[in-house]
Structures are given as C-alpha cells and as structure tokens.
Amino acid sequence: MTDPLQCVLLVDDDAAVRTVLSAQLEQAGIDSIEASSAEEALERLASGAVDVMVTDLRMPGMDGMALLAHSVRLWPDVPVIMLTAFGTVPVAVEALKRGATDFLLKPFERKDVLEVVERALRMACRPNQPPPPPLGLASSMVGALEPLRADMLRAASGTASVLIHGENGTGKELVARAIHDASPRAQKPFVAVNCAALPEQLIESELFGYEKGAFTGATKVKPGRVEVANGGTLFLDEIGDYPISIQVKLLRLLQSSEFERLGGTETRRADVRFIAATNKKLEQAVKRGEFREDLYFRFVIPIRVPPLRERPEDIRALAPYFSARSADANGRRRLDIEPGAMSLLMEQPWPGNVRQLENFVERLVVFTDGDAIRGADVEREMGRDAARAEGPVSGTPGLADRVREAERLSLLEALTRTANNRSKAARLIGLSRRSLYNKLKEHGLLQWRPAEEPLPAKRTHS
C-alpha cells in the first residue's frame, strides 16, 4: 500500500524522464505517480494523493510555470520542485520567487534527486505523522554524533558563516545540508559549489553569473550560484582551493551582500547564508599567503567533523543504516549485523572514513548469502581488499594496473585534445563534470596542464 507521505507526482511530457525519476525514487523506497501534461497533473493533485510534485518547466499546452501557479493557489501544502535544463536557470530562479521550493537541473544525478526530494518530503509531513526515512547519510551520521549534532544545531539557529573542516569522506557536505535543513532557511535553496571541479576562468561566472556579451559565447544573461541561493544557503566546498582573485569578491559579498555579474556594472544584492568546507589547514594557508586572512576570519563558527577512527562507536549506528539502505537499493533482503561482525568493523581504521565504510557495507550486503552478516563475511571482504592492495605477485602488471593506466591515458588525451577544458573533456569521454573531477583527483591530475606533462606514449604489455 502506498504511503501517502512518500507519494511524489512526476510531471513531464518526456516519458523517458519520468521513467528514470520513478526508478530512482523506487530504489529509495518512495512511491511515485506520473502525469504527461500539466492538465493531467491537476487531476492527480485534486485526488489528494500527492505530497510532493516534480514538474518540468517546458511542456506543450500549460507549461510548468502555470502549473506552479495553480498548485501554489489550490494546494499550498504541496512542495513543488521544478525540473529544468541548464540554460533555463533564470526561469527556475523566477519559479522559486513564485513559490517553488527547489529545482533540479537536467541532466540530473540520482544523489541530487534524492536529496532534493528528501527536503521536500520533510516539508510535506503532516502533523502527528512521522517524517519519511532519511534518504541521505546526514540524519544517521548526525544522530550518532551528539557533540557534532549540538554544534550543528547552534550553527543552524544563527546567521553567522560556518567553516566545516575534516578529512575527505567524513561527510562535510552532508553536515552543511543538515545545518541548512535545521535552519530558518530550510525552505529556501541549498546551492553547493565545488571550486576544484571548475576551470579557474569559469569560477567567477559560475558564482556571480554574467551579462550578455561578457565574453565570447555569452549570448544571454546567466545568474550565478549566488543569485540562485538568494534567501537560502551557499555551500562553498573545498574553499581552500579558491584563487585569491575570487576570495576578494567573496569577502565583499560576505561583508556587504553585494556583487556584480561578470561583464556588468550594476551592483546587486543577495541574502545568502555561507557555509564553507575544507580538508586543508587554512591557518597555514593564511601564513603562506594562499588564503586571505580577512576572509578566513569571516567564517565565525568552526565545526570539525572527526574522522571515523576517532569515533568507532558511531559504526554501531552507521553500519546498520548503510546495510538497510544498500539492501533496498540492490533489491536484497535486509540483513542483521551479528556482534562478531560489528566488532571487526569497529576495529578497522577506515582511512576513507564514512564513505569507505558505506562502500564496504554495501559489498557485504551484495555478497552475503545468509540471513545475517557474520564475522566470516567481514573477514572475506577484508581479504579481498588486502589482495587488491598487494597487487600481482610477479613484476608483470595485473589487469587492474593496466585498466588504471589506460584510464589515466584516456584522461590525459581528453585534456590535451580540449586544451584542458574540463567541460569539453568530460563530454568527450562520456562523463559528468563531477565524475571527471573525481577521476582527475584519483589520478593526481587536478593541477595538470598540457605544457607540464607531454601525453605519454601508449604502452603494450607482453
């Protein structure tokens, strides 16, 4: 039976888009119903079975903006998420002003869909009924970390800028989202920006937007992430990697809430709550002249997310959560974790932190045949990890080494062909920009430039 608290209406004239969204929600345990037009969506809304609506902006007949107007007027308790292509971001911003709660950009990724829908479902919860189960990691992690939870609640209640620091994989962005969701700005946008995933010349236009004619190819006005986040929260990930020129502009925005679009002269204002994250020691970066001291001190509230090795007891809460979520996502039966298996999990150092634990538990769920995860199952997967770490016994490169080398060559070739244009390189090899960034980071190529390293010759192995 469909839980009315988890019923999402998907409105799009493209059946393929509806199918993808429906499958992603179904994997997370969320029921959905579909409508191929705004007119059909109004009939669905009138049935009273809808708690959240995800609708495309551009559709034949009544468009998404008109549907939004009807929904806000007749069903104000139903959060509306606008689905739009990247080029129509200004229209999405207008939709937010007219009552939409959030928007998703095409092409969308499963993680983004679930996080946006999760926030909307929390807004849709009716009195005296429990909220939907958490779709992301933040709720479980925060529940297991009481000292961190207390710091986050204090940060959420105020307006001061927050700096989250911690190792990779500890869940800094999830902490930032949880702060936003617990704040008075929860119903406004949460906009994340990862500077390291963008070419330096695009950072300014991505943050602050640009005017028509600002540079070659700027054929229309484009609002930046700051404008999209107006009234909400702007999350600046890996802020330690932002160039000094951008730091100056961010400082002005923090001090006066003012900025200009690239190529523009009009001073604009934005009401934005700032949360930044870094895995670097910014105090040392300040001493080296790599980070502005005045910007550093603008982040008033420091929050440290400790690595998993410093809080092994949290694994008692995290591992069962990951196990249940992985079982649902992979169509498997939910498995208990026996005490012996839990003890082994808690003894590990987990250098990759929460992210590594999540991946490891998912493997346990997939490869365990019994009705519970036992110590032997944990030891088996640990043995596989050890074998991978040791590599082939002989001096001949193994399959994994050859695949890794081929992948690195492919990345270098794409960067060289596109003159280090990351967006074009991502399209060339069929990756999203975020996936390309992750691959470049994995191979140590984030700072690579064509002039610094010639494209290596392809090797053959006998």
Residue keyed to tokens 């007749």: 74
Q: Is the pLDDT of residue 399 over 60?
A: no
Query: Same CATH topology for 4-124 and 138-304?
Result: yes
Q: Report whether 305 contacts 314 (CB < 8 A).
A: no
Q: What is the pLDDT of residues 420-439, one digit of tens each?
A: 888 888 877 777 777 788 78
Domain boundaries, the chain: 4-124, 138-304, 325-390, 402-462
Q: Which CATH number fits domain 138-304: 3.30.420.40, 3.50.50.60, 1.10.3720.10, 3.40.50.300?
A: 3.40.50.300
Q: What is the pLDDT of residues 38-52, one digit of tens each?
A: 999 999 998 888 989
- Residue 7: phi and psi, rounded to 5, are -110, 115
Indicate the CATH number for domain 402-462: 1.10.10
Pairing assessment for the beta strands 222-223 and 209-210 based on DSSP bridges: antiparallel
| pLDDT band with cut points at 50, 70 and 90 for residue 198 | low
| Kind and range of the H or E run holding 7 | strand 7-11
Question: How many residues comprise the chain?
Answer: 462
Residue keyed to tokens 């929050």: 303
Which CATH superfamily groups domain 4-124? Response regulator (3.40.50.2300)
pLDDT of residue 290: 92
Asked if CATH classification 1.10.8.60 holds for the domain at 325-390, the reply, yes or no, is: yes
Q: What is the pLDDT of residues 142-186, one digit of tens each?
A: 444 566 777 787 788 778 899 999 998 888 888 898 888 888 888
pTM of the model: 0.54
Which of 33-42, 394-403, 415-424, 453-462 shows the lowest per-residue confidence on average (mean pLDDT)? 453-462
Cα 350 to Cα 385: distance, rounded to the nearest angstrom:
12
> What is the pLDDT of the chain when averaged over all its residues?
82
Q: What is the pLDDT of residues 54-72, one digit of tens each?
A: 999 889 999 999 999 999 8
Q: Report whether 190 contacts 235 (CB < 8 A).
A: yes
Structure token digits, residue 113 = 């869909």
Alpha carbons within 13 angstroms on the beta-carbon side of residue 44 total 23
How far is Cα of residue 182 from the mean position of the Cα atoms in its chain?
18
Q: Report whether 272 contacts 233 (CB < 8 A).
A: yes
The distance in angstroms from the start CA to the end CA of the chain is 59
- Residue 55: phi and psi, rounded to 5, are -130, 145
Q: What is the pLDDT of residues 282-338, one digit of tens each?
A: 999 999 999 999 999 889 888 998 888 888 888 888 888 889 888 888 888 889 999
pLDDT of residue 397: 57
